[in-house]
Amino acid sequence: MASYTRLGTYLLANELTADPFGKIHRGLSLSGSSLERHALVRTFSDEIIEAGLPSKLEEINRVAALLATQRGFGHGYKVFGGRSMHVVCDYVQGRSLSQMLEKSKVEQIPLGVDHALSVLQSLAQALVQLHGKGLSHGMLSPHSVWISFEGATHILDAPFAACLNTLLPKCPTIQASRAAYQGPAGTSALQQDLFALGAVFYELLTLSKLPSQDLLSATLAKATLKAAQEDELIPTEILGILKRLLGVEKGFESPSIFITELERVLYDGDYSPTTFNMAFFMHTLFREENEHDNQAMKADQAADFSPFLETEPAKAKLFETTGGKSYTKAIVLGGAAVVALLGFLGIKSYSDTQALKKTTADLAMAQRENAEIAARLTDINRQEQKVLAEKTLAESQLKGAKTAEEKRKAEERIAEANKQQADLQKQKQDTQQQQQQTAQRIQTIAQLPVNKPATAPAPSMPVAQINPSQLPSQLPKNLPSTHLPGTTPANNPAPTPTAAPPPTQVAPPAPAPIAEGPELPPTFLKRVMPSAPRLANKNFLPNNLRGIDIEVTVKVFVDSQGRAVKVTIEKGIEGFGYNDAAKQAAYDSTYSPATKGGKPVNGSIVVSYKFGKAR
């Protein structure tokens, strides 16, 4: 039985994380005695409250409003002041970056370079947006970052981080926890944020906190990829970015210069920091927590929260006659009779509606779980292929070994590959068993009578059927990880059909091949138009651009979930802000994914943005 605690207008369910700033809970808002929606609720430590954070309420609300439509931050912020000050935002199923690092270390699950770059890029894009609004963070650390189980990265404390930063002298506990992420005194707000970003990136690569300034250069020179469980030194191109972020070498003068250098490493290197890979890592690392969250949220949907409703004060008598006689009782009895009559007439309809609502919600959750399991199977198959290739190479090297040392190394690689194969086979068997159980559950739900109303059912989507052998080839190479508009929070699933699909549409345990059919490109769901940059002096424009309508063409890569994961300039204008404005508009737009044979797949779309004449 779940336990709940009231905090203002919200109920606090299980605690998701605790840190020096306070705690983050899964929160619930109610509609009557039933669940309305889930939320993330951030509460604060007594140290922060006593330092004066509640007095910063107006400033926090101003920053939250500025970030309301931006990617990389939470959404739907509500700030509640007072002694029990708390901040609420839309629910995102996941855990903090601090928890991810700690569990990766304890469980000894390798955190690859691709995963580190995925987090770095998402945080970098968010910080660039923050400084583009004339704001700074000032408090960035792994406690600030929330990683969803779907692989997206969010800076959850962005609305109140700058205010917390001003209160640090009154918060010695928090100030001590910030030591590894605090840059040299006297540097600009941008350089402070970039230093903190570098400190977080160093921790992602090594699972160690950044050393003091006097040891920094020597430590970086011999730092290895300990997080990936490798003894190799940090690659030169990645080390170069790290040194510039930390001020060991010449720093980045502007956010745009930093992003340009980061994209060069990402797109020209041998890395693939995709949201898909990050999602698989999070599901592997937090499998038990994810399952527990799903079960708890499902229990919330069926719970009766009547005991937590605030009791209204006793009503005064409605009116009294001049002789002092009260007619309250008669009026109350009459009202009760009317309510009883209306309840009798509507109770059956309400009961059927609630039963249908619950059943379709259960079906949607089961379908979502089925899709996640299929994605895990896909990645396991891909890892098996990679391990098999490494084993084959090691066996070939063993046959050609000329020295005892070469033979020993080849044998060690073969032994390691055999161990990895055994681990992957066990994961595969467990995942296939989960897939069978989920398919059976979907079939059971689909056969419930309540899912067969008298009216004609709306067209329903069949359970996702994913062929693991085909899906990896559809993933574009070197796509960046980014959190974009249109990502559906875990507690707000996409609209489900009013009738469950018939049993014949349930996915079998073995994945079916993707049907052949026409391939259709992505389309816009919401097209955001860019804002033309203002030029300080039109005389700087080259002659061929003066007096003409300026147009920028971009190519948008859209994944199978409808998210713009990469935007490249096909035809543009360098140096005047038009390219950046077009790319930002493309990222801010939302899309329907490309389809092939009726199935969503990765695809791309070419878009032209017209800015008119330079102004």
The phi and psi torsions of 40 (rounded to 5 degrees) equal: -95, 130
CA distance 77 to 89: 4
Instruction: Kindly report which listed range (379-383, 434-438, 462-466) carries the lowest average pLDDT score.
Output: 462-466
CA distance 88 to 528: 27
Please indicate, yes or no, if residue 324 is contained in any of the structural domains.
Answer: no
Taking residues 247-276, report their average pLDDT: 83
Taking residues 564-574, report their average pLDDT: 86
pLDDT bracket for residue 462 (50, 70, 90): very low
Q: What angle do CA 317, 323, 326 make, to 5 degrees?
A: 25
CA distance 574 to 533: 13
Say whether pTM exceeds 0.75. no
Taking residues 157-178, report their average pLDDT: 92
Instruction: Kindly report which listed range (170-179, 269-278, 375-384) carries the lowest average pLDDT score.
Output: 375-384
Strands lying side by side in the sheet with 603-612: 564-571, 550-558, 603-612
Please indicate, yes or no, if residue 343 is contained in any of the structural domains.
Answer: no
Taking residues 94-110, report their average pLDDT: 93
The phi and psi torsions of 473 (rounded to 5 degrees) equal: -70, -15
For residue 474, give the amino acid letter: Q
Taking residues 95-119, report their average pLDDT: 92
pLDDT tens digit string along 350-379?
565 666 666 666 766 666 676 667 667 766
CATH number at residue 544: 3.30.2420.10
pLDDT, position 28: 94
The phi and psi torsions of 34 (rounded to 5 degrees) equal: -120, 160
pLDDT, position 458: 39
Looking up tokens 């026409």 gives 518
515 pLDDT more than 50: no
CA distance 223 to 232: 9
Which of 17-31, 317-331, 507-521, 543-557 ranks highest by mean pLDDT?
A: 17-31
Residues 496, 526 within the same domain: no
- Beta-carbon-side half-sphere exposure of residue 427 (alpha carbons within 13 Å): 23
pLDDT, position 239: 93
Domain count, the chain: 3
Residues 261, 362 within the same domain: no
Residues 251, 362 within the same domain: no
Residues 265, 375 within the same domain: no
Residues 361, 443 within the same domain: yes
Taking residues 391-400, report their average pLDDT: 83
Residues 552, 500 within the same domain: no
Of 400 and 357, the one with more pLDDT:
400
Please indicate, yes or no, if residue 511 is contained in any of the structural domains.
Answer: no
pLDDT, position 364: 60
Residues 498, 523 within the same domain: no
465 pLDDT more than 60: no
pLDDT tens digit string along 417-456?
898 888 888 888 888 888 788 777 777 776 665 444 444 3
497 pLDDT more than 60: no
pLDDT, position 554: 92
Which structural domain, as residue segments, surrounds residue 378?
353-452+461-475+491-505
Of 307 and 45, the one with more pLDDT:
45
CA distance 582 to 476: 22
Residues 499, 579 within the same domain: no
Residues 428, 552 within the same domain: no
Residues 547, 436 within the same domain: no
Residues 525, 497 within the same domain: no
Residues 138, 256 within the same domain: yes
565 pLDDT more than 80: yes
pLDDT, position 50: 94
Strand partners, 606: 555
Please indicate, yes or no, if residue 306 is contained in any of the structural domains.
Answer: no
